[in-house]
C-alpha cells in the first residue's frame, strides 16, 4: 500500500525519504539472502551417489560462482531461481556470486549491509572487484571497507577498495596487469533509440595513436563539408570513414600535400656545384602525402586502381510494416541497429549496393521429416520469435540452437514419424538454456507461431510470445503440455 504523501510537511517528507532508503536496502539484502539460501539447498554434489555418473554426463555438477572459499552450487538450479526472480540467468548468477562472496569472504562488509547502513550495490561492487583474491588475502580488503563503506561517498569507497585490492596481493596485481595487456578488444554496444551506437576499443598504445592521427587527418579534410559540426561530431564522422576503406583511401589520395622543401646543403647548392647547368630547371623533390607518406608518382598510380573490391559486404535484415511500403509513416527495425525511421534507414543504406532478397511468408507452416533444422526454417523461426524463447531471455542473436519444444520421436522403424520438425515445433535456445531444457526437468510446448509454454521443475508456469514473458497458472501450463499431439491450446 502506498501512503498519501500530499499532506506531509518538508520535515515529514525528509523522514519518509530516509525510511524509503532503509526499506530499499533491507529488501535488497533479503533478495540476496533468498539467493544464498537457494544455493545452500542445492549445495550437495550431484555427481556423488548412485546417479553421479548420469549427473556428470549431463553436466549437472557443482560450479563455483563466487571467489575462493565460497561453496559450490548445482549448475542446473541456476535457471529456475532466475525465472522466479524475473531476471536473466546471468543477472541472477552474478547476484549469487556477490552474496556468496559477501557472506564467506567479506563478512564484516556484509554485516554493514545487514544493518542497512550502506547501499548494497557498493558492497556487491567490492565483492566483484576482489573476487580474484585468495580467501586469506581478501581479509585486508574486508577490514578496510567495513570501516568506511557506511560513512564515505561511493566514489571514495571504490577508490580505496581498488587500492586495498592491490595492496592485498601486489604480485597477483602485476600478473593481472600483464594479462590485461593481452586483453585487447573492439566491441559494439547496443543501438540506442536515436540510431546511435557506441564502439569501444582497447588497443596497443601505438596503434591507438595511429588511429588517432588518421581520425585527425580525416576530420581536417571533411571539416568544410560540415561547417556546423562540433569537433567531437567531426571525429565521429571521420571514424565512420574507417568502415569504408575504398572511400577513405580515395579521400586521402585526393588530399595529398607537399612537405616543406629540405634545407639545401653544400653538396646540393647549384652555386657550388660546377657540374650543374645553370639553365637547367632545378629538380624538385617528390611531394609526399602527409597522411600516407607516399611519393606523388606512386599516388598517381594508386589513383588509377579500381577500389571497388575494397567495399565491405554485409547482410542487413530489415523489418518493415506493409504500410511503410506504401509511403505511410512507419518505423523499420534493423537487426543489430534497433528501430529506425525510414529517413534514417535511407541514410544507412545510402552508400550501399542494395540487393533485396525475396520476402518470406511467415504464415506458411513448414514441416520436415528429418531431425535437423534446415537453414530456411532457421531464418523463418528467427523472424517469428526474434531470439531465444527461454523465459526472460535477452538474446536476439541468430547464433543459437534450434530446439524441438515437443521432443523429437525417432520412432521404432527405419524412418521417424513425419512432420515433427517445422515451424510448428521449433524454438531458438541459447546453448545453456537448451541444455537445461533437455536435462534439468523443464517442460515446454509450442502452442502457436512464436508462442511457447514452460513449466519449471518446481511448478512455475510461463508463457513466452511476441509480447514477452508472462506468468501463468501451473495447472494451465500442465493442461497445454498434456494436450494430444496436433492440438493447439492457446492460453488466455
Residue 324 has a pLDDT of 67
* Contact status, residue 112 vs residue 26, Cβ threshold 8 Å: no
Distance of CA 96 to the CA centre of its chain: 20
DSSP string, 74-122: EGGGHHHHHHHHTS-HHHHHHHHHHHHHHHHT-HHHHHHHHTT-S-HHH
Instruction: Tell me what percent of the residues of the chain surpass a pLDDT of 90.
Output: 29
Write down the residue that cell numbers 557506511 correspond to. Answer: 150
Residue 298 has a pLDDT of 63
Higher-confidence residue: 363 or 184?
184
CA distances from 230 to 106, 224, 236, 348, 425 (A): 48, 12, 10, 21, 53
Angle at 244 between CA 238 and CA 247, to 5 degrees: 85
When pLDDT is averaged across residues 420-425 and rounded to a whole number, the result is: 77
Which of 150-159, 218-227, 267-276, 328-337 is the most confident on average? 218-227
Residues 6+ apart with CB under 8 A from 467: none
Crossing angle of helices 78-85 and 89-104, rounded to 10°:
100
Q: DSSP label at 272?
A: T
β-partners of residue 288 are: 295
Reduced to 3 states, what is the DSSP secondary structure of residue 170? helix
When pLDDT is averaged across residues 153-181 and rounded to a whole number, the result is: 86
The reported pTM is 0.63
Q: Is the pLDDT of residue 446 over 90?
A: no
Q: Give me 63's grid cell.
A: 560450479
CA distances from 54 to 47, 77, 439 (A): 8, 16, 10
pLDDT in tens, 210-265: 788 888 889 989 999 999 999 999 999 999 888 888 788 888 877 765 444 444 44
Residues 6+ apart with CB under 8 A from 275: none
Q: Give me 410's grid cell.
A: 525417432
CA–CA dist 94, 91 (Å, integer): 5
Higher-confidence residue: 483 or 372?
483
Query: What residue spans define the domains of the chain?
Result: 10-181, 186-243, 312-359, 367-481
CA distances from 261 to 13, 103, 296, 390 (A): 75, 71, 14, 68
CA–CA dist 297, 93 (Å, integer): 61
Reduced to 3 states, what is the DSSP secondary structure of residue 63? strand
Query: Please, which pLDDT band fits residue 5 given cuts at 50, 70 and 90?
Result: confident
Q: Is the pLDDT of residue 355 over 80?
A: no
Query: Please, which pLDDT band fits residue 175 given cuts at 50, 70 and 90?
Result: confident
Torsion of CA 141, 146, 152, 153, to 10 degrees: 70
Other C-beta atoms closer than 10 Å to the C-beta of 149 total 24
Q: DSSP label at 425?
A: S
* Contact status, residue 387 vs residue 393, Cβ threshold 8 Å: yes
Which of 145, 175, 148 is closest to 161 using CA atoms? 145
Higher-confidence residue: 35 or 309?
35
Amino acid at each position: 500500500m502506498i501512503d498519501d504523501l500530499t499532506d506531509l510537511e518538508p520535515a515529514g517528507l525528509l523522514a519518509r525519504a530516509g525510511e524509503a532508503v532503509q526499506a530499499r536496502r533491507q529488501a535488497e539484502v533479503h533478495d540476496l539472502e533468498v539467493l544464498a539460501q537457494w544455493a545452500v539447498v542445492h549445495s550437495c554434489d550431484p555427481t556423488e551417489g548412485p546417479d553421479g555418473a548420469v549427473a556428470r554426463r549431463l553436466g549437472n555438477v557443482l560450479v563455483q560462482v563466487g571467489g575462493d572459499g565460497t561453496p559450490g552450487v548445482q549448475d542446473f538450479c541456476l535457471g529456475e531461481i532466475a525465472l522466479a526472480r524475473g531476471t536473466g540467468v546471468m543477472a541472477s548468477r552474478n547476484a549469487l556470486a556477490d552474496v556468496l562472496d559477501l557472506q564467506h569472504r567479506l563478512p564484516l562488509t556484509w554485516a554493514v549491509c545487514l544493518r542497512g547502513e550502506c547501499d548494497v550495490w557498493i558492497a556487491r561492487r567490492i565483492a566483484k572487484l576482489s573476487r580474484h583474491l585468495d580467501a586469506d588475502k581478501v581479509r585486508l580488503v574486508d577490514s578496510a571497507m567495513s570501516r568506511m563503506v557506511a560513512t564515505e561517498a561511493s566514489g571514495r569507497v571504490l577508490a580505496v577498495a581498488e587500492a586495498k585490492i592491490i595492496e592485498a596481493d601486489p604480485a597477483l596485481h602485476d600478473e593481472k596487469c600483464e594479462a590485461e595487456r593481452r586483453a585487447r578488444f573492439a566491441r559494439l554496444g547496443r543501438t540506442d533509440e536515436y540510431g546511435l551506437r557506441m564502439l569501444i576499443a582497447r588497443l596497443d598504445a601505438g596503434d591507438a595513436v595511429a588511429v588517432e592521427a588518421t581520425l585527425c587527418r580525416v576530420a581536417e579534410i571533411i571539416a568544410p563539408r560540415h561547417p556546423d559540426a562540433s569537433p567531437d561530431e567531426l571525429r565521429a564522422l571521420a571514424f565512420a570513414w574507417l568502415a569504408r576503406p575504398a572511400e577513405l583511401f580515395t579521400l586521402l589520395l585526393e588530399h595529398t600535400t607537399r612537405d616543406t622543401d629540405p634545407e639545401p646543403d653544400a653538396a646540393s647548392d647549384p652555386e657550388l656545384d660546377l657540374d650543374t647547368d645553370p639553365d637547367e630547371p632545378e629538380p624538385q623533390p617528390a611531394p609526399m602525402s602527409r597522411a600516407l607518406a607516399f611519393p606523388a608518382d606512386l599516388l598517381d598510380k594508386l589513383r588509377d586502381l579500381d577500389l571497388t573490391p575494397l567495399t565491405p559486404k554485409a547482410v542487413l535484415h530489415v523489418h518493415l510494416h506493409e504500410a511503410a511500403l506504401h509511403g505511410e509513416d512507419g518505423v523499420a527495425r534493423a537487426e543489430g541497429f534497433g528501430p529506425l525511421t525510414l529517413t534514417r534507414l535511407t541514410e544507412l543504406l545510402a552508400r550501399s549496393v542494395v540487393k533485396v532478397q525475396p520476402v518470406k511468408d511467415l504464415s506458411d507452416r513448414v514441416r520436415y521429416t528429418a531431425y535437423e533444422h534446415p537453414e530456411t526454417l532457421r531464418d523463418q523461426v528467427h523472424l517469428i520469435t526474434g531470439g531465444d524463447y527461454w523465459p526472460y531471455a535477452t538474446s536476439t542473436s541468430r547464433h543459437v540452437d534450434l530446439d524441438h519444444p515437443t521432443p523429437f520421436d525417432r520412432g521404432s522403424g527405419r524412418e521417424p514419424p513425419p512432420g515433427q520438425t517445422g515451424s510448428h515445433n521449433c524454438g531458438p535456445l541459447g546453448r545453456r538454456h537448451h541444455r537445461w531444457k533437455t536435462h534439468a526437468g523443464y517442460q515446454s510446448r509450442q502452442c502457436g507461431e512464436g508462442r511457447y509454454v514452460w513449466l519449471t521443475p518446481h511448478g512455475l508456469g510461463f508463457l513466452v510470445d511476441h509480447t514477452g514473458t508472462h506468468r501463468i497458472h501451473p495447472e494451465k501450463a500442465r493442461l497445454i503440455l498434456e494436450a494430444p499431439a496436433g492440438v493447439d491450446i492457446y492460453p488466455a
